[in-house]
Structure 1
Amino acid sequence: MDKKELLARVKEDGVKFISFQFSDVTGAVKSVDAPISRLETALDDGIWFDGSSVEGFARIQESDMRLVIDPTTYAVLPWSPADSRR
């Protein structure tokens, strides 16, 4: 799935928030959550975050890290229909 297909798909799916997930060096899942309005920029530029706050990633002096988004991993999380967090 490329960028154009992903942007169309999230619109079709009615997604309002997106969770960009990754794992730390111990295998624990971490995430950066954002409103769907940030998706296009994230696909172009990645998501910048403070890597020193993630176990084993970076020292405080070298803490800027960037998540590179893989559009092929898109999935809608199975929230119940009554839940508005889709």
Structure 2
Amino acid sequence: MIITKPKILCVDDESEILNFLEAAFIPKGYEVIKSENGEEALEKFKEEKIDLVISDPGLGNSYQILHLSKKLPKKGSLDN
């Protein structure tokens, strides 16, 4: 049986914030997928099975990202 890590899509145009989020979540057992803009984030939704989205609401395409994230299955807590 293959156990996959929950995937978190982090979307922000500041690399320092993306690196901070990655450093916070990877040790907790999550896979972090980073995106620096809304267009790239939308592509990641097509390529990956995303479990959680953390996004800068000021980015372009932020409403499309929100709309797609609302379609994610409700899984309850991500606590490890």
TM over 0.5: no
TM-score (norm 2): 0.27
Please state which structure has a larger fraction of its residues in helix.
2
Please state which structure has a larger fraction of its residues in strand.
1
TM-score (norm 1): 0.26
Bigger relative contact order (CA 8 A; separation at least 6): 2
